[in-house]
């Protein structure tokens, strides 16, 4: 049976929503009989105005289908759609099918833990994956209650959106849920390690794989404390109690996103259970993720977008509230500064590319198109604009409008216009004058950021609107002024293309505290002054603002790589002390060093070694300096010394061990047998991912051939391993991978025959030859975009080509010396 499916068009969804009202789903799943597939029986009760429609279904095979007691021919199922003809009034559809367990993080994902061989299952129904678990009308505005019945192995625990009980060994019955959109439905099943608690009448629980049970136990107190603090604050702000009964937080393996807000059963990627030492930055990221998903229980779950074009509202609102609540009521009061490092550039770079789009108002004519505009603009920019709106309206009006919205559309669906109407009513009742129409037009419906820069000769702040998206936006923000060795902060309102700023200054950093949404680019004098000034700055927000200014300048070829290296060398380890994706260190080593003057990596390595000697043993700065030193190391002797005995204050845990092993492999100092032996000594999910990346990074033809087999899908690996292989592939001597540059563009289209959805697009991005900064590679990227590619692949390659074009601009503007 074909696995290809048609994306749901908006007009089709509108017609189906006008025809049907779903009364409830009854779903029976047998997860115990097979490791490749599972048995699924769906009963859908609904009323109809009468007439033809279709059900979404993506099975391995179909046993039987009946509509109102009459059989439906399974052969009519095509491209994920089962046509049916409904009668006016009550209808009942029953579908019995065999469904696939998946390993790409979508549908019902099944993973075997290499640490102990135990299997775990979780559901991820976002966008169009639900029909691979149960038959459904898969669109957000056909909400319905669900009742699940699950057969599972006897040693498994099963958790769902509603409370459930084990009625006999292996048999689980769940209460009828509140009305849910299909994309929120989940089950988490396996021999989980469970921890229970309670707060304010809400049953709380956590789960993880058994092999990381001790790590979850260590983190449980913090996780429960964060959850309780956030519940109290959301109840205070919204005045509406959490409506979904139990609140379970499941940490699951090989999860694509950071987390998913399934009502009553939120799923998180399980690297957020810390099995190795982490910095405060990672703890802040986890805390804001917890708060983000809790905000969704109101905005997204209680009230859900009518169609995917308003999905940005879900994420922007949760992003803003998650960061705000974390900063205001948890131990992580520096959350805003950390999020500035972690998320700001994600949104700003997305907003400056050719693929930019408005925050709101994207027609999203089908579900697949909607997903392509689900990016840093939806999260980071949308959050920044809601933060500006909250500041302009005031908290009383902002939250009064939100409460009105939740109350009017409780357990239903709504649009952006519904929300803004609630804010308009709240503003009118409070006597607050604010032009929401102009705000919406300038900030939400117009793509692209303004550019802000200071001209020290003319003593003005320049505002430049994006040429393809003209706007007339005013900006109110703080600027940090350096005069001698003293920093001061001034409030500035920019209403025209030039705004006077008469200051005596060695440096001016515009909008360091993210008060507005703009790409702030530092002038040459400021860049030079920062070489001496940055290391002594103690204000975390200002430090983040400096790096965001520099990264915006880099993105626009407005800063010399040599100057960036000078600043980084003076201030290593980079002030956010975290080196996870999107942050400063990966950008510095991955983008700047390759285009900087020769010797840049060695200079940063020496700076990291000096910092290791200076900072307190056991401190986060020491850990960050050590990671930077490993990342930049080329000495086998030094790396093996660290593998045997790390610096005092450092414990070589699994993460650090594999960082060293990977660097040894990349430099040709570790054999495949060495790597396999290290994995065999401590098998774990994280270790397996590191192993596959290290195997691909070895500088020989065999390693690159193996990596390429992962890209093409000839070697089938789980989603995290695919990304690790892609990120490692282009390391080593350029001549080893030179032939693969052309092959990437030739063989990319066929990868859609091996994988789909998120995993397909992620692989396309991970394996993109970003290090081949040539006009020929850019031309090949532009050519492949014109082919009939999967939309997700096209978007990722388009953005990668944009990055490549900008790297070329840096290369031309500042030739490497």
Contacts for 213 with CB less than 8 Å, ≥ 6 apart:
193
Q: Nearest-CA neighbor of 353 among 371, 375, 336? A: 375
Q: Is the pLDDT of residue 3 over 60?
A: no
Question: Mean pLDDT across the stretch 484-497?
Answer: 96
pLDDT at position 2, please? 35
Bigger pLDDT: 365 vs 607: 607
Question: Mean pLDDT across the stretch 352-374?
Answer: 83
Q: Is the pLDDT of residue 371 over 90?
A: no
Do 260 and 272 contact (CB within 8 A), yes or no? Answer: no
pLDDT in tens, 736-749: 999 999 999 999 99
Q: Are strands 202-208 and 247-252 parallel, antiparallel or unpaired?
A: parallel
CA distance 204 to 185: 19
CA distance 402 to 395: 10
User: Three-class SS string for 130-161?
Assistant: HHHCCCECCCCCCCECEEEEEECCCCCEEEEC
pLDDT in tens, 349-361: 999 999 999 998 7
Q: How confident is the model at residue 365 (pLDDT cuts 50, 70, 90)?
A: confident
Question: Mean pLDDT across the stretch 562-578?
Answer: 94
Question: Mean pLDDT across the stretch 667-680?
Answer: 97
Contacts for 641 with CB less than 8 Å, ≥ 6 apart:
none
Burial class for 569, CB neighbours closer than 10 Å (0-12, 13-18, 19+): middle
Residue 302: DSSP 8-state: T
CA distance 536 to 155: 56
pLDDT in tens, 50-63: 999 999 999 999 99
Q: How confident is the model at residue 372 (pLDDT cuts 50, 70, 90)?
A: confident
Q: Is the pLDDT of residue 370 over 80?
A: no
Lowest mean pLDDT among 23-27, 571-575, 677-681, 779-783: 571-575
Mean pLDDT, all residues of the chain:
96
- Scanning the structure block, which residue is given the tokens 């559809």? 93
Judged by DSSP in three states, 117 sits in coil
Question: Mean pLDDT across the stretch 404-418?
Answer: 97
Task: Give CA 285 to chain center in angstroms.
Answer: 11
pLDDT in tens, 35-44: 999 999 999 9
- Percentage with pLDDT > 90 across the chain: 94
Do 496 and 517 contact (CB within 8 A), yes or no? Answer: no
Q: How confident is the model at residue 756 (pLDDT cuts 50, 70, 90)?
A: confident
CA distance 360 to 185: 26
Q: Nearest-CA neighbor of 207 among 264, 273, 255, 281? A: 273
Q: How confident is the model at residue 1 (pLDDT cuts 50, 70, 90)?
A: very low
Q: Nearest-CA neighbor of 359 among 338, 327, 387? A: 387
pLDDT at position 4, please? 65
């Amino acid at each position: 049976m074909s696995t290809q499916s048609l994306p749901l068009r908006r007009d089709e969804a509108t017609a189906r929503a006008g025809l049907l009202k779903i009364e409830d789903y009854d779903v029976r799943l047998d997860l115990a009989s097979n490791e490749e597939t599972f048995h699924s029986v769906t009963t859908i009760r609904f009323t109809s105005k009468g007439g033809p429609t279709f059900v979404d279904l993506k099975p391995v095979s179909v046993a039987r289908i009946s509509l109102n007691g009459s059989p439906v021919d399974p052969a009519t199922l095509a491209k994920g759609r089962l046509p049916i003809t409904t009668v006016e009034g009550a209808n009942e559809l029953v579908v019995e099918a065999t469904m696939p367990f998946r390993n790409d993080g979508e549908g019902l994902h099944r993973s075997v833990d290499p640490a102990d061989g135990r299997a775990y299952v979780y559901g991820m129904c976002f966008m169009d994956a639900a029909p691979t678990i149960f038959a459904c009308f898969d669109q957000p505005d056909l909400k319905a209650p669900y009742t699940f019945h699950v057969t599972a192995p006897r040693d498994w625990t099963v958790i769902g959106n509603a409370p459930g009980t084990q009625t006999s060994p292996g048999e689980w019955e769940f209460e009828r849920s509140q009305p849910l959109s299909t994309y929120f439905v989940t089950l988490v099943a396996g021999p989980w390690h469970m921890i229970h608690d309670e707060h304010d009448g809400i049953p709380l629980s956590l789960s993880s794989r058994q092999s990381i049970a001790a790590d979850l136990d260590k983190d449980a107190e913090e996780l429960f404390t964060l959850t309780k603090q956030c519940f109290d604050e959301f109840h205070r702000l919204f005045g509406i109690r959490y409506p979904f009964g139990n609140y379970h937080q499941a940490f699951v393996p090989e999860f694509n996103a950071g987390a998913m807000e399934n009502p009553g059963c939120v799923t998180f990627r399980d690297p957020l259970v810390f099995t190795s030492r982490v910095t405060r930055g990672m703890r802040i990221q986890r805390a804001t993720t917890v708060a983000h998903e809790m905000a969704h229980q109101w905005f997204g779950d209680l009230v859900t977008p009518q169609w995917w074009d308003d999905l940005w509202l879900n994420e922007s609102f949760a992003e803003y509230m998650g960061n705000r609540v974390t900063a205001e009521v948890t131990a992580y009061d520096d959350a805003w500064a950390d999020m500035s490092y972690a998320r700001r550039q994600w949104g700003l770079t997305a907003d400056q590319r050719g693929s930019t789009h408005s925050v709101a108002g994207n027609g999203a004519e089908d579900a697949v198109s909607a997903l392509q505009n689900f990016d840093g603009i939806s999260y980071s920019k949308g959050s920044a604009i809601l933060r500006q709106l909250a500041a302009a309206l005031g908290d009383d009006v902002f939250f009064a409008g939100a409460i009105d919205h939740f109350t009017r559309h409780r357990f239903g669906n709504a649009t952006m216009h519904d929300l803004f109407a609630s804010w308009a009513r709240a503003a009118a009742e409070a006597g607050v004058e604010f032009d929401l129409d102009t705000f919406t037009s300038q900030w939400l419906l117009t793509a692209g950021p303004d550019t802000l820069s200071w001209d020290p000769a003319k003593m003005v702040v320049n505002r430049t609107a994006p040429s393809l998206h003209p706007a007339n936006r005013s900006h109110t923000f703080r600027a940090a002024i350096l005069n001698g060795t003293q920093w001061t902060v001034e409030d500035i309102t920019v209403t025209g293309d030039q705004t006077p700023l008469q200051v005596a200054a060695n440096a001016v950093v515009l909008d360091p505290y993210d008060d507005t949404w703009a790409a702030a680019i530092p002038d040459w004098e400021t860049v030079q002054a920062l070489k001496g000034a940055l290391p002594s700055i103690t204000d975390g927000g200002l430090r983040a603002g400096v790096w965001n200014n520099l990264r915006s300048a880099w993105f626009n070829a407005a800063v010399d790589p040599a100057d960036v290296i000078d600043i980084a060398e003076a201030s290593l380890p980079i002030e956010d002390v975290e080196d996870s994706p999107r942050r400063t260190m990966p950008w510095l080593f991955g983008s700047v060093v390759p285009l900087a003057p020769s010797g840049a990596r060695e200079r940063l390595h020496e700076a990291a070694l000096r910092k290791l000697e200076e900072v307190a043993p056991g401190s986060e700065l020491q850990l960050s300096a050590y990671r930077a030193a490993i990342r930049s190391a080329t000495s086998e002797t030094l790396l093996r010394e660290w593998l045997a005995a790390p610096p005092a204050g450092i414990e070589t845990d699994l993460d650090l061990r594999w960082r060293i092993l990977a660097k040894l492999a990349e430099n040709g100092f570790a054999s495949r047998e060495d790597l396999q032996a290290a994995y065999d000594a401590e098998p774990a999910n994280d270790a397996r991912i590191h192993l596959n990346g290290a195997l691909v990074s070895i500088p020989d033809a065999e390693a690159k051939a193996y990596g390429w087999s992962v890209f093409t899908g000839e070697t089938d690996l789980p989603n995290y391993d695919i990304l690790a292989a892609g990120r490692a592939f282009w390391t080593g001597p350029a001549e080893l991978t030179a032939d693969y540059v052309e092959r990437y563009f030739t063989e990319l289209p066929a990868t859609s025959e091996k994988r789909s959805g998120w995993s397909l697009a992620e692989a396309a991005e991970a394996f993109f030859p970003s290090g081949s900064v040539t006009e020929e590679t850019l031309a090949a990227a532009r050519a492949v975009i014109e082919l009939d590619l999967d939309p997700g692949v096209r978007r990722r390659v388009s953005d990668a080509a944009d990055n490549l074009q900008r790297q070329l601009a840096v290369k031309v503007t500042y030739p490497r010396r």
